[in-house]
Chains A and B, each alone.
Chain A
Amino acid sequence: MKNEIIIAGFGGQGVLSMGKILAYAGLLDGKEVSWMPAYGPEQRGGTANVTVILSDEMISSPVLDTYDVAVILNQQSLDKFESRVKPGGLLIYDPYGIHRKPQRTDIKVAAVEATEAAIESGNPKTYNMLLLGALLKLVPMVPIETVVKGLEKTLPPRHHKLIPLNREAILRGEQLVENL
């Protein structure tokens, strides 16, 4: 089993950390993982994307041109990556700020209103965890509890009080795609 994923949006949306949490969960689950960011000058508001691969076998290239799953958080990223989802693959996008919706018909498309849900929840910083919940519901590549365990291991103890909040956000994210 291999999942090749691109997560793309603005810097500050938690793109890189979402990818890292997913990769870490994969690691805990015994998988081979890679996390390859498109890096640039340290800057807020610029575009950010990360390629995450979870695989049962050794990973060859961390750099890809096509993906099984794309998680798209702004229009530029949608324009750039929609064509690069493999036929039969999955495109998850947040419709907030999207004025040109995905056009492809040979892939599964899931609109996840994560911005709205994050604002509603009163914890906008859990935005990327909502998306992660949605992603894992649609593509259950690692158990949610492994993700939570990963948070415990990677977050410094002073941030452990935030783990229940993140867990809730992941579960809420799952609900967002329940009816899709």
Chain B
Amino acid sequence: MKQHEEEVKLLKGNEAIAHAAIRYGVDGYFGYPITPQSEVLETLEALMPWETTGMVVLQAESEVAAINMVYGGASSGKAVMTSSSSPGVSLKQEGISYIAAGELPALIVNVMRGGPGLGTIQPSQADYFQAVKGGGHGDYHLIVLAPASVQEMADFVGLGFDLSFKYRTPAMILADGVIGQMMEKVVLPPAKPRRTDAEIEAQCPWAARGKHGRKQRNVSTTLELDPQAMEKNNIRLQETYRKIEQNEVRFEEYMTDDAEYLLVAFGCMSRICRKTIEDARAQGIKVGLLRPITLWPFPSEAISRLAERMKGILVCELNAGQMVEDVRLAVEGKTPVRHFGRTGGIVPNPTEVLDALRKEVIK
């Protein structure tokens, strides 16, 4: 493996996550098989990073165990992650709430499939609400990154961990079956070594990793029975979230300069919408795209600004209408906002999106 330099590869999105994790210097991955994300665990097991970087890879007995392993590892200041798909991520929610409450860094990957229930193994974006509104119990947020390419699957591993450690809050890569299963060219970043114990102690003085001469013991806990103290914990969390909202909104605009209509889409749907825009513009329809890269924090300001000069907005999602609610909150009625979605694992093609734009928005 050419670990020390950039490397161009043809990889599935799921495989890219695994390669990027090793190169980022992740300390531990804990997972459980579920379609369509099992290649993350499979690739890590095949690459045997414990022999090279010393990264721990473990197939846990359940998604529940896996997220609690992440909680344990994160409590000791390690860079740890898990991945799953929708039903498995539902199982992880209690643990994710603990990680958020414990102000711990961790990365969770959700390669979404269609639900509800056992649902389907085909692509979906129906876990948007779960990801951006918290997901588990209590007032908390995850930093939610929505990759739209295999390259971003690789890049967001590093970005997710960087943000997660910066703000001491868990980050999620919210991908979908298309991005997880498709192969594209990906430039893998040069490998960097895992942090040393001394580096972890310096970066994470709160870590419960054995006192090692420290006077004060470190305790990673989320329990606080005194309401006054627990409210303070909540206020501190909210202050962190406000900082993240101020500093970390990420989005991409495509052909919005002269656009009269706007598509808003994330993940694989944003790719389909780009093709729709190519086709629409060939027919003289001036349409552009705003793609949120962070779903939380949400690019509300950018959408509000664009809404001023749009004749209408179509939000395209692989769900029955979730992100559209956040778009409407951002637009505040300045222009009509409509939704186009497919559910159940169906991925619409670019022509369907164009038909919906004509029918719902242009009229």
Contacts and interface: CB of A to CB of B under 8 A. Distances in A.
Interface of A: 20, 23-24, 27, 32-37, 39-41, 59-66, 154
Contacts of A34: 182-184
A65 B347 CA distance: 11
B121 A39 contact: yes
Given A32-B185, A61-B275, A24 B10 contact: yes
A60 B349 contact: no
A27 B184 CA distance: 9
B35 A63 contact: no
Given A33-B184, A41-B35, A64 B178 contact: no
Contacts of A39: 35-36, 121-122, 177, 181
A27, A35, A59, A60: which has the most chain B beta carbons within 10 Å?
A60
A40 B182 contact: no
B10 A35 contact: yes
A63 B316 CA distance: 15
B185 A60 contact: no
Given A39-B177, A60-B275, A65 B351 contact: yes
Interface in B274-289: 274-278
A173 to B, nearest CB: 22
B307 to A, nearest CB: 24
Going nearest first, the 9 A-B pairs with the smallest beta carbon separation are A65-B349, A60-B274, A61-B275, A35-B183, A60-B275, A36-B182, A61-B272, A61-B271, A24-B10
A27 B9 CA distance: 8
A177 to B, nearest CB: 26
B8 interface: yes
B19 to A, nearest CB: 15
Contacts of A154: 10
A63 B10 contact: no
A19 to B, nearest CB: 9
Contacts of B271: 60-63
A59 to B, nearest CB: 8
